[in-house]
Amino acid sequence: MKTWEEIKEIQPLAGKIITNSMEKGRISHAYLISGERGTGKEKIALQLAKSVFCSNKDGVEPCQTCNACQRIASKNHPDVLWIEPEGQSIKKEQIDKLQKEFMYSGLESNRKVYIIKAADTLTLNAANRILKFLEEPNKATTAIMLAENSQSIIPTIRSRCQILDLKPLNPQLFQQQLMESGIPEANARLFSALTNNLTEAIHWNEDEWFAQARKLMVQLVETFAANPDDVYLFIHSKWLPHFNERSGQEHGMDLLLLAFKDILLSHIGYEDATVVFAKSSNKLEDLVMAFSQEKVLAILNAILKAKQKLKQNVHPTLVMEQLTLQIQR
């Protein structure tokens, strides 16, 4: 997505809202752009920043080639400030540093843009600091916050932002694209359920870590079904050592979520929609017998809550232990 027209083809509502506001000279002082990974949050943020600073725009379209556009693309523009999580969260000290930056006027213009990636990882103190910015908006400042779920942002921040919820991309079309890139159908089916980023999917296809992660996920689900007394040993000896970084922990939860979705779909007769287990496999039939439809729904809800706890910086060992208890009930 390199132009607003391309953005509107993939995210028509968000693209139209932003371009209409730019055409009227009414860029919002704060945007909250939410959507799943791969839906284009960061690309939209970059495009908006370029439209603000580009000196050779064609209407609302930035030229992509001027000095400002190129530095924004490489995240080196002095008046476009990026905030990303340090560790597992965005901390108050990072927002304090941002506030100091805003004590000074723009280095190359009278405008400033700040972009907060993974805004749903803001600690409560950091969120309250950001709120002060939003309560006293500066006409020359535009805030762009990116999150996977806008509901995970505190209400007082949401109420002061223009919220743009991005729609999920079509996984079938992406699956076909993956297969055309040489990824086997089974992997393409799984990757298209996890990401909309072609580069990321190709990396996973070549990554032994991800292959082992998928294997461990299947083993864990089977252990829950056949040998529940062995689950704690499995988690501490196999699962936690492998999923030892935040991104890996999130991938593990996503894989578990897909596995139990497969079981639910099989319960209601949609085996062809499964992405983790082979269609009509004996493994899947055994798991359908082991987990009732009501139980699977409860497990899916528990996994979603566990994912949220990881984002809130709860210790991953505690999260997995609590999830295990909930699945075993």
Least confident segment among 171-175, 236-240, 255-259: 171-175
- pLDDT at position 156 is 93
> Is pLDDT at 106 greater than 70 in this prediction?
no
pTM for the whole thing? 0.67
How confident is the prediction for the chain on average, in pLDDT?
Answer: 90
Q: Identity (one letter) of the amino acid at 217?
A: M
CATH 1.20.272.10 fits 207-328, yes or no: yes
User: In terms of pLDDT, which residue wins out, 285 or 212?
Assistant: 212
Task: Say how far residue 185 (Cα) sits from the centre of its chain.
Answer: 24
- pLDDT at position 86 is 87
- pLDDT at position 17 is 96
Q: Which long-range contacts (CB under 8 A, 24 or more apart) does 199-202 make?
A: 200/38, 202/178
Which residues of 117-174 form beta strands (DSSP E)? Answer: 141-147, 162-165
d(Cα 33, Cα 148) in Å, to the nearest integer?
Answer: 8
Mean pLDDT on 74-95: 91
Q: What are the structure tokens assigned to 238, written together?
A: 């196999």
> Is pLDDT at 67 greater than 90 in this prediction?
yes
Task: Identify whether the C-beta of residue 117 lies closer than 8 Å to the C-beta of residue 98.
Answer: no
Q: Identity (one letter) of the amino acid at 119?
A: A
End-to-end CA distance of the chain: 46
Confidence of residue 73 (pLDDT cuts 50, 70, 90): very high
d(Cα 41, Cα 32) in Å, to the nearest integer?
Answer: 10
d(Cα 189, Cα 157) in Å, to the nearest integer?
Answer: 37
> Is pLDDT at 107 greater than 70 in this prediction?
no
Q: Phi and psi for 8 in degrees, rounded to 5?
A: -70, -25
Task: Say how far residue 303 (Cα) sits from the centre of its chain.
Answer: 16
Mean pLDDT on 117-127: 91
> Is pLDDT at 215 greater than 90 in this prediction?
yes
> Is pLDDT at 7 greater than 70 in this prediction?
yes
Confidence of residue 3 (pLDDT cuts 50, 70, 90): very high
Confidence of residue 283 (pLDDT cuts 50, 70, 90): confident
> Is pLDDT at 42 greater than 90 in this prediction?
yes
- pLDDT at position 99 is 82
Write the pLDDT tens digit of every residue in 131-180.
Answer: 987 887 676 889 999 998 888 899 999 999 999 999 887 778 788 889 99
- pLDDT at position 213 is 95
Confidence of residue 36 (pLDDT cuts 50, 70, 90): confident
CA triple 203-205-206, angle to 5 deg: 70
> Is pLDDT at 280 greater than 60 in this prediction?
no
> Is pLDDT at 184 greater than 80 in this prediction?
yes
Domain boundary assignment for the chain: 4-165, 207-328
Mean pLDDT on 174-202: 88
Helix axis angle, 293-311 relative to 316-328, nearest 10°? Answer: 170
CATH class held by domain 4-165? alpha beta
- pLDDT at position 157 is 94
- pLDDT at position 66 is 95
Confidence of residue 312 (pLDDT cuts 50, 70, 90): confident
Task: Say how far residue 111 (Cα) sits from the centre of its chain.
Answer: 28
